[in-house]
């Protein structure tokens, strides 16, 4: 990279904010999807919006590709560097700028770790609802870019329902301030469009988010099942009965075994084929009514036992296994391929079983833990990436699972995003015309296509548009 550009950037961010290729840059070579890796030309860690804007201006003038990055916990290669590109990370922007308890909102920097926001407002009886399982590490900026979900998004909605405003550094370093308190957008919904744009529309440096009051009563249920099918059927019944718990999560047998053998052991019986966690929240009568109905469904579906707890410590224990599931799976194999697909909730049982069959056919070990209430499957394949043959089987199985889910009326990703990983599979769901329309929206935000290039939209579609082989108005 041109030394003059590097020096100009260093003058902005200082020595702490700039990492040149070498050992310190190694962690930036991939995100949580380690099968894709690329050396960044440079890693920039600006301290605030002004520094980010100044860096972006220089990179714009120099025509350098940029990959925004939060904590790098993404699972679709979204924050993986691109050849010849620079990483602009938010790791040094972690302040809570304003905690407005009265109006139940907070203004924060994008690099704030998800759970730290809840820690900051907990004493006021408030919390930040979207709770990805990675919430101890992932940043709110990353959550915005991926429109992340979590167990409690079943009731409270994904990140997009909690973002009230954004301060965005645009491709050329100019600022777009969308933080004015407005109930509806004045003009087009730019915030709504930005959320989920996977780092391709700009860098969000500050966020205004909604905080939710803690519910007066919370009750957690743990249903133990002899079959995965029965756990899935219970979920479909709960949805069909129009009950509205706040979370509905399933763990399968391999996950249970891994959890119980780890420090996250939650006392789940190892002979169980599946456990179903259900959380209900609200006023006393709301919780009591919903809890009665949930328990009846679990029992009707043949749960071996149903445990419940209201006390915070006891509930935490029931959740411990779910929260620690991903960490615990490290015991099963060195690598974990976390597939992510969504299906209609009436087809949970059928599709979960089909993913099990696909893994079996490819001689792979599957540990399933997923946001069942939203139909968001995570068939996690345990493997060793040093074994090339196994890696090839993992990718083939992942692809088959996605195709199957799409054919059943589902989609490629419920929360992890498309990134590098699923770019080629976008065709399962979208026509070229659909993808061209996305490409046009991207061109409006980033005409030179320097922000996170090569992600989300199949490169061919954008290239054909640029080359003019698809006439405007076609």
Binding ligand FAD (rule: CB under 6 A), the pick from 30, 38, 49, 134 is: 134
**Phi, then psi, of 35 in degrees rounded to 5:** -70, -20
Q: Which residues pair with 187 in a beta bridge?
A: none
Q: Which does 288 bind (CB under 5 to 8 A by kind): another protein, ligand FAD, none?
A: another protein
Tokens of 13: 């961010």
From residue 88, how far is each of 68, 175, 293 by CA, in Å?
5, 16, 49
In the shown chain, the binding pattern of residues 211 to 250 toward ligand FAD, with x for contact by CB under 6 A and - for none, equals: ----------------------------------------
Q: Contact at 8 Å (CB) between 298 and 220?
A: no
Tokens of 362: 């490819």
Q: Return the residues of window 83-102 that contact ligand FAD according to CB under 6 A.
A: 90
| 121 or 168: CB nearest ligand FAD | 168
Pairing of strands 18-19, 42-44: antiparallel
Shortest distance, CB of residue 162 to ligand FAD, whole angstroms? Answer: 13
Burial 163-198 (b: 16+ CB within 10 A, else e): bbbbbbbbbbbebbebbeeeeeeeeeebbeebbbbb
Task: Give the interface segment with another protein, choosing from 8-16, 328-336, 382-390, 431-439 (CB under 8 A).
Answer: 431-439
In the shown chain, the binding pattern of residues 141 to 180 toward ligand FAD, with x for contact by CB under 6 A and - for none, equals: xxx-xx-xxx------------------------------
Task: Please report how many Cα atoms fall inside a 13 Å half-sphere around the Cα of residue 336, on the Cβ side.
Answer: 22
**Phi, then psi, of 210 in degrees rounded to 5:** -85, 140
Shortest distance, CB of residue 290 to another protein, whole angstroms? Answer: 8
> If we measure between CA atoms, which residue out of 326, 397, 414 comes closest to residue 362?
397
Q: Which does 195 bind (CB under 5 to 8 A by kind): another protein, ligand FAD, none?
A: another protein
> If we measure between CA atoms, which residue out of 192, 198, 250, 257 comes closest to residue 223?
250
Shortest distance, CB of residue 160 to another protein, whole angstroms? Answer: 7
Place of tokens 């597939």: 339
| 46 or 375: CB nearest another protein | 375
According to the binding rule CB under 6 A, does residue 30 interact with ligand FAD?
Answer: no
Distance CA 56, CA 203 (A): 9
Q: What is the DSSP string of 305-333?
A: EEEEE-SHHHHHHHHHHHHTHHHHGGGT-
| Residue 43, SS3 per DSSP | strand
Altogether, the residues listed in the chain come to a count of 474
Binding another protein (rule: CB under 8 A), the pick from 345, 378, 393, 455 is: 345
Q: Which does 285 bind (CB under 5 to 8 A by kind): ligand FAD, another protein, none?
A: another protein
Q: Return the residues of window 188-207 that contact ligand FAD according to CB under 6 A.
A: 198-199, 203-204
According to the binding rule CB under 6 A, does residue 28 interact with ligand FAD?
Answer: no
Distance CA 76, CA 200 (A): 14
Binding another protein (rule: CB under 8 A), the pick from 98, 100, 271, 299 is: 100
| 179 or 227: CB nearest ligand FAD | 179
Q: Return the residues of window 257-316 that contact another protein according to CB under 8 A.
A: 282-286, 288-289
Shortest distance, CB of residue 296 to ligand FAD, whole angstroms? Answer: 29
Task: Give the interface segment with another protein, choosing from 12-20, 25-33, 171-179, 255-263 (CB under 8 A).
Answer: 171-179
Beta carbons within 8 Å of 52's beta carbon, 6+ residues apart: 46, 88, 93, 169, 203, 205
Q: Contact at 8 Å (CB) between 191 and 185?
A: yes
Task: Give the interface segment with another protein, choosing from 40-48, 126-134, 209-217, 259-267 (CB under 8 A).
Answer: 209-217
Point out which residues bind ligand FAD (CB under 6 A). Answer: 31-32, 67-75, 78-79, 90, 110, 132-134, 138-139, 141-143, 145-146, 148-150, 198-199, 203-204, 326, 415-416, 452
């Amino acid at each position: 990279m041109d030394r003059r550009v590097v020096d100009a950037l260093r003058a902005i961010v200082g020595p702490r904010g700039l990492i040149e290729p070498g050992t310190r840059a190694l962690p930036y070579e991939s995100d949580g999807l380690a099968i894709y890796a690329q050396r960044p030309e440079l890693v920039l860690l600006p301290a605030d919006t002004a520094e980010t804007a100044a860096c972006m201006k220089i990179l714009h003038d120099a025509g350098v590709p940029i990959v925004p990055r939060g904590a790098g916990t993404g699972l679709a290669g979204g924050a993986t560097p691109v050849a010849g590109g620079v990483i602009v990370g938010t790791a040094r922007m972690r302040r809570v700028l304003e905690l407005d308890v009265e109006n139940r909102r907070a203004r924060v920097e994008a690099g704030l770790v998800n759970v730290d926001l809840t820690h900051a407002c907990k004493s006021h009886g408030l919390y930040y609802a979207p709770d990805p399982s990675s919430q101890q590490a992932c940043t709110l900026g990353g959550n915005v870019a991926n429109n992340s979900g979590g167990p409690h998004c079943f009731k409270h909605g994904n990140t997009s329902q909690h973002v009230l405003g954004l301060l965005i550094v645009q491709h050329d370093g100019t600022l777009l301030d969308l933080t004015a308190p407005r109930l509806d957008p004045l003009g087009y919904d730019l915030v709504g469009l930005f959320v989920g744009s996977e780092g391709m529309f700009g860098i969000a440096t500050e966020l205004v988010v909604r905080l939710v009051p803690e519910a007066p009563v919370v009750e957690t249920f743990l249903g133990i099942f002899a079959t995965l099918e029965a756990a899935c059927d219970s979920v479909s019944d709960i949805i069909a009965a129009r009950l509205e718990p706040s979370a509905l999560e399933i763990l399968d047998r391999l996950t249970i075994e891994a959890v119980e053998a780890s420090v996250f052991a939650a006392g789940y019986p190892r002979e169980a084929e599946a456990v179903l966690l259900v959380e209900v929240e609200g006023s006393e009568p709301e919780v009591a009514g919903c809890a009665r109905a949930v328990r009846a469904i679990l029992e009707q579906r043949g749960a071996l036992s149903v445990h419940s707890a209201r006390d915070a410590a006891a509930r935490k224990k029931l959740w411990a296994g779910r929260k620690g599931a991903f960490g615990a799976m490290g015991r099963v194999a060195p690598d974990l391929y976390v597939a992510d697909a969504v299906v209609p909730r009436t087809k949970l049982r059928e599709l979960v079983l089909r993913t099990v069959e696909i893994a079996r056919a490819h001689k792979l070990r599957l540990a399933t833990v997923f946001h069942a209430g939203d139909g968001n499957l995570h068939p996690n394949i345990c493997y060793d990436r040093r074994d090339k043959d196994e890696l090839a089987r993992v990718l083939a199985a992942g692809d088959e699972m996605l195709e199957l889910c799409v054919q059943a009326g589902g989609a490629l990703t419920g929360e992890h995003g498309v990134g590098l990983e699923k770019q080629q599979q976008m065709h399962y769901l979208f026509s070229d015309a659909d993808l061209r329309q996305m490409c046009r929206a991207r061109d409006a935000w980033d005409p030179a296509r320097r922000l996170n290039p090569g992600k989300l939209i199949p490169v061919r579609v954008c290239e054909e548009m640029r080359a003019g082989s698809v006439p405007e108005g076609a």
